[in-house]
Structure 1
Amino acid sequence: MPFFRRDGIRGIQADMNKSHETSTQKISRQAQSLSTQLQNLREQMYPPEARKSLKSFSSRETAALLGIAESTLRQMSLDGESAIPARQDNGRRVYTLSQINQLRRYLAEKRPQDALRFLPQRRDGEKLQILTVANFKGGSAKTTTALHLSHYLALSGLRILVVDLDPQASLSAMFGYQPEFDVEDGQTLYGALRYDDERVPVRDVIRKSYFDGIDIIPGNLELMEYEHETPQAIMSGRSRGQGIFFRRIKTALLEVEGDYDVVIIDAPPQLGYLTLGAIFAATGMLITVHPAMLDVASMNQFLAMTSDMLSVIEEAGGTMDHDFIHYVLTRHNPHDGPQVNIVTLLRSLFGDDVLAAVVVETTAIASAGLEKKSLYEMPRGSMVRDTLIRAIDSVDAVNSEILAHIQTAWGRT
């Protein structure tokens, strides 16, 4: 009789048990195994408390964000004005984003004639901007667009609320939340949308993020409950009037209207009740599109279905109030002939609704994503300098154009 080591026997028994698994059991086991490994990786990346933190900014970067000369910033530090930076071992001054925002408020008060430049938050009479980032097609960089836009606007001094409506919760993961570990029942936007007595104020599901100026409502699979419950609510009469399904997201967000300048919603990659609610709530829509034929064909279906569904909403008394709808070209290779042709086609059809700036295809965004970071979080020495600069310049151009549309909606020139 052959001799088996005890661990070998256990391995054989485990394999036998696996062979009798149903498909449901197998997928559940693999999901749990992967989830545990992801949690372990996160704890290795962000020890000891397993939470993300934002890098500090050099004097040069801080001066650029504030729009002042570096020498002015240095003199303010020497004079002890406002935030006092930390010193690195090499003697260089570095600022946290919280300190940069403190400097913004100080400069706005000290130079009232330039207050709007230093502190560009919305004023009385300027409505909350709710931007929904949407598309059907995977790979259109919807989540990446929402992430970089939120970081850019926060670095510009605006108060941002990020809402992850995608049950896959990729945006939440980029902000350091592993959905199945960090987001419990009732802690997504579903908690503020549900149709029963367990519904909570939206403020109860908002969290502070590690990125000063950005709060987040994370997502997880719980969001699918809204898709399942809404048809039942419609049939039972619980979804009507001000509580009708397509108004619920907007109603919830307006509860915290005074706390933010811009809300950025990462919509699910399908046209369900959540996406329709996000589109109805929006003051602006950003439709991401990779300029390839299959992606554009998918977007065409998205537009056709959205048009049909929005017509139904309008017939039910829902009035759309979008300040702008723009197409954001992502992962564009300007040296790819077919892509260039598609970009030309889209511009000829949609004109100025296609943003002039494009996000170029680059390994820098993918490399940052592996570390669950945006380009704005990457240290200068983390990748080839020219690659990082080109990528940031591309993303900056798109985000600054979006910011200009926001400011136009606020009535600013």
Structure 2
Amino acid sequence: MADKIGRALQAHSMEVFPPDAQKELRTFSAREAGEFLDINANTFRHYLKTYADKMPTGTLVNGNRRYFTAEEIQAIRDFLYENGRIGPREYRRRQPGEDVKVFTIFNLKGGVSKTTSTVSIAQMLALRGYRILCVDLDAQASMTNLFGLSPELDPNMPTAYDIISYDDPKPIRQVIRPTYFAGIDIIPASMDIIEFEYETASSFSEGRTAAPFHSRMSAALSQVEDEYDLVIIDTPPQLSFAVISALFASTGMVIPLSASMLDVMSLATFMTMASDLMAVVERQNQEKTFDFIRLLVTKYEASDQPQLQMASFLRTVLGDDVLPAEFVKSTAIGDALNTKQPVLEVGPRDMNKATYDRVIKSISDICNAIEEDLGQAWGRT
């Protein structure tokens, strides 16, 4: 059965994304570009006309529609900020005196759209101007694959394991890979990350003098903390040593879960385990805190009455700890993933517009809430 599935998936992957293919990000309409820039349509058109010789103006399609690459959107943002046309509210990058923020997206429960949520949030925030480093800690490497990297086709590719390994860890810059998505770099994953669990277990009995396991991720990230605004870590559905190291390096946490009774029961058990283990780790650093810990309801269907009741239950019990926006369940997400694409990479022209707009609004609302948490953590008004 494994052979049959493997051969069929390989044939499918060869058809939709050959090994020598390079993923390319689509272009964005003027309306989308204006939304990412947080500038209203009339003002954006005025800037395009006024500064046509000083900043990118996109490409005309069919004579009257203007489309922009993600790189052009960022160049426009840089120009407008440098020339005082937008302020820090629209120019999201870290300001002097603000430190890089690291948040982990984590749940012990599988099948809660954790990786899909991680990639969608990272891509939306990148389009809004943040410089983002994604870190994949899942041996299944789903996020790595979504960014067009295939560990099985490149067994010598440096991965997250190499930056936290006990035996001759690599400098993090040798592991970071640029992606086709402007504003996002990635530290890929592979099955090698499992080795870290064996190394850590043996380090206890062997009395190794290397840095303890819980501090290894933060030590690695400190090498590039000035180069990014956000680090977003995707984790496997298990409480491993690598995950604890990621949590210790984090300043925030987002916990995705489905609005079902079984998932909420699982969440309570998971939170108890996580808090007990983190309490042990935090004895090593009394100043360890999180700027925020938020729950994100995923696979949400507002027409599903049991889900509606469970989401209301969570908000009644936990209040503002639950993000006000849900990650909706949609055929648009599934259709995009069938071709190894997050939904933001699929244009609204390729599917039903209402369906597409509903998903994009969901991701946008989630990022709005996360940005509020980031703003408070940075002390912004």
Residues 76/57 of structure 1: CA separation in 2 closer, same or farther (3 Å cut): farther
Q: Which residue of 2 aligns with 1:400?
A: 368
Between the aligned partners of 1:320 and 1:301, the Cα distance in structure 2 is: 23
The one-letter code of the counterpart of 1:65 is F
Q: Which residue of 2 aligns with 1:110?
A: 83
The one-letter code of the counterpart of 1:72 is H
- Which of 333, 340, 345 is the aligned partner of 2:308? 340
- SS at structure 1 position matched to 2:356: helix
CA contact (8 A) 1:109 1:115 kept: no
The one-letter code of the counterpart of 1:82 is M
- Which of 56, 60, 64 is the aligned partner of 1:83? 56
Structure 1 unaligned segments of length 5 or more: list them.
Answer: 1-25
Between the aligned partners of 1:306 and 1:48, the Cα distance in structure 2 is: 39
2:156 aligned with 1:188: no
Between the aligned partners of 1:130 and 1:232, the Cα distance in structure 2 is: 28
2:184 aligned with 1:219: no
Q: CA deviation at 1:305?
A: 0.9
- Which of 12, 30, 37 is the aligned partner of 1:59? 30
Q: Which residue of 2 aligns with 1:93?
A: 66
- SS at structure 2 position matched to 1:87: strand
Higher mean alpha-carbon deviation, 337-346 vs 400-409, is at: 337-346
- Which of 126, 137, 152 is the aligned partner of 2:109? 137
Q: Which residue of 2 aligns with 1:6?
A: none
TM-score (norm 1): 0.86
Q: Which residue of 1 aligns with 2:135?
A: 163
Mark the structure with the bigger radius of gyration.
Answer: 1
The residue correspondences of 1:345-364 to structure 2 (distance < 5 A) are 345-364=313-332
Structure 2 unaligned segments of length 5 or more: list them.
Answer: none
Aligned length, in residue pairs: 378
Q: Which residue of 2 aligns with 1:23?
A: none
CA contact (8 A) 1:226 1:274 kept: yes
- Which of 241, 256, 278 is the aligned partner of 1:273? 241
The one-letter code of the counterpart of 2:352 is V
Residues 239/342 of structure 1: CA separation in 2 closer, same or farther (3 Å cut): farther
CA contact (8 A) 1:326 1:354 kept: yes
Between the aligned partners of 2:329 and 2:355, the Cα distance in structure 1 is: 11
Q: CA deviation at 1:85?
A: 2.3
TM-score (norm 2): 0.93
CA contact (8 A) 2:151 2:157 kept: no
- SS at structure 2 position matched to 1:139: coil
The residue correspondences of 1:221-240 to structure 2 (distance < 5 A) are 221-238=191-208
- SS at structure 2 position matched to 1:82: coil
2:126 aligned with 1:154: yes
Residues 142/74 of structure 1: CA separation in 2 closer, same or farther (3 Å cut): same
Deviating above 6 A after TM superposition, structure 1's stretches of 4 or more consecutive aligned residues are: none
Residues 53/36 of structure 1: CA separation in 2 closer, same or farther (3 Å cut): farther
Percent identity, aligned pairs only, is 37
The one-letter code of the counterpart of 1:387 is T
RMSD: 2.0
Q: CA deviation at 1:318?
A: 6.0
